[in-house]
Chains A and B, each alone.
Chain A
Amino acid sequence: MSRVITITSGKGGVGKTTSTANLGTALAIQGLKVAVVDADIGLRNLDVVMGLENRIVYDLVDVVEGRCRLRQALIKDKHFPDLCLLPAAQTRDKDAVTADDMIALTNQLRAEFDYVLIDSPAGIEAGFRNAIAGADEVLIVTTPEVAAVRDADRIIGLVEAFEKGHPRLIINRLKPRMVNRGEMMSIDDVLQILAIDLIGVVPDDEQIVTSTNRGEVAVLDRSSRAGRAFAEIARRLAGEDVPITVFDDNPGLLNRIFGAFGIRARGSER
């Protein structure tokens, strides 16, 4: 049975697209058939992060408006033939599709893929509503900053209002050393406010900047701490019970297992 999962955040620039690209790739590494959909129509990015920009012929709006078949718009990943990207249109805007269009589209994708990951635009308007319309589950991305957490809280309220179940949380760009110095919100601080299940913590990692600019996702780089964190989140998504580790920026010194704090990811027993 396939699952449609929307990755959203409210605030822009917290790592939705990076998370979508990495989780999609990590699931494909596990041998699953995955489609990643860029629902940020008019501001497409997912293709750039995955290094597939120069292969785009048709896009999501072309499919919705019947100018091509779904199969024609799907772009195969460079590394994994079972990973496909459905790019957003760049020359149109959010009004080009409706929530019903998105539901119809995700239902078509369900037939061919194990996982459909939808990269939501920032904001709470039509683009966001379209992005979650066809979703079974929602992942919220936030960074440990007050403004991002505030927006995540707003989005969680909306996701619950749309009856998409209990969203799960990815805390992105955590800097353990700043947390230890008391200069950044800790995982506990964020969870106390948002009161939802944590599915993973991604450490701040400068390599992400270079890898996304090159169009190579971090999970393919074994030395990347963020990549390892995303790989773990993908395993939890698939139902494995993996304790949440926080990969510190000083490897070997602090690799704290947060299970001791009572924070465990939800997943079925192995």
Chain B
Amino acid sequence: MTTLVAIKGGKDGLRMHLNEAAGWSEVLGALRSQLDQGAQFFNGARVIIDIGNRSLTEEQLAELMTLMREHHLEASALASTSRESRSAARAAGVVARPVTRSVTAPESPDNALFVWRTVRSGQIVRHHGDVTIVGDVNAGAEVVAGGCVVVWGRLRGTVHAGALGNRTAIICAIELRPTQLRIADLIARAPDGAAAGHPEVAYIDGDQIAVESWERYRRSNRSDL
């Protein structure tokens, strides 16, 4: 099956590849469901739209812009080999550039982000892959990741792992006392009370987020850990 929509992180930020051959309404439908799933991840993000050699009319582009606006996604540029699409983009006030085929986003899934500091109230760490934080995530701070989140410190803020819909993502912290945990489309509020006093893991078990000690998790779930 061909991929209709692929959203990838690259050097210049998020890049949204829209299949150039499939029907436009089909592509928009796929994009809509992808955006619905990752609503939190995309909130306020800026992306480059890459439509390949597709020719877009102004109406089609307007549809796309409306869909993106609904999901609080901002188009930073439109990349296309099609002159017609580029002029439609300019008419809609979007920067247009000819697509550069040689510089496609790296495919490798091992694009992890390493943060070595305290993430403070009001700060957001947003990354499409896995995120490791050496330091605390304070209350009022947010970490949003497409993959797993590991906090080598105290986690008191809000973390969203698997924000693009990956339900197998996990969240680990030395001290897991979050304001709120989110994995994929599920949300859990932290239980009241003191921290456990040992490292813990949050993961999706059935249809809810479960939290247990790292020791028990590694023994019960994974023989290879």
Is A76 an interface position by the 8 A CB rule?
no
Q: Is the CB of A195 within 8 A of B136?
A: yes
Q: How far is the CA of A193 from the CA of B121 in the complex (A)?
A: 10
Q: Give a binary string over A156-170; 1 marks a CB under 8 Å from any B CB, 0 the rest.
A: 111000000000000
Which one of A81-89, A104-112, A146-154 is at the B interface? A146-154
Is B122 an interface position by the 8 A CB rule?
yes
Q: Is the CB of B139 within 8 A of A150?
A: yes
Q: Is the CB of A157 within 8 A of B123?
A: yes
Q: Give a binary string over B118-135; 1 marks a CB under 8 Å from any A CB, 0 the rest.
A: 101111000000000000
**Given A193-B138, A195-B136 in contact, is the A150-B118 Cβ separation under 8 Å?**
no
Q: How far is the CA of A195 from the CA of B120 in the complex (A)?
A: 10
Identity of the chain B residue whose Cβ is nearest the Cβ of A158 in the assembled complex = B122
A151's partner among B121, B123, B136, B154 (CB-CB below 8 A) is B121
130-156 of chain B: CB within 8 A of chain A: 136, 138-140, 154, 156
Q: How far is the CA of A75 from the CA of B15 in the complex (A)?
A: 58
List residues of chain B with CB within 8 A of the CB of A158: 122
List residues of chain B with CB within 8 A of the CB of A193: 136, 138-139, 156
List residues of chain B with CB within 8 A of the CB of A192: 154
Q: Give a binary string over A191-231; 1 marks a CB under 8 Å from any B CB, 0 the rest.
A: 01101000000000000000000000000000000000000
Identity of the chain A residue whose Cβ is nearest the Cβ of B140 in the assembled complex = A150
Identity of the chain B residue whose Cβ is nearest the Cβ of A196 in the assembled complex = B118
**Closest chain A CB from B154 CB (angstroms):** 8
Q: Give a binary string over B35-61; 1 marks a CB under 8 Å from any A CB, 0 the rest.
A: 000000000000000000000000000
A→B interface (CB under 8 Å): 124, 150-151, 153-154, 156-158, 192-193, 195
Closest 9 CB pairs of A and B: A157-B120, A154-B121, A153-B121, A154-B122, A153-B120, A153-B138, A157-B123, A150-B121, A195-B118
29 A-B contact pairs sorted by A residue (CB < 8 Å): A124-B122, A150-B121, A150-B138, A150-B139, A150-B140, A151-B121, A153-B120, A153-B121, A153-B122, A153-B138, A153-B139, A153-B140, A154-B120, A154-B121, A154-B122, A154-B140, A156-B120, A157-B120, A157-B121, A157-B122, A157-B123, A158-B122, A192-B154, A193-B136, A193-B138, A193-B139, A193-B156, A195-B118, A195-B136
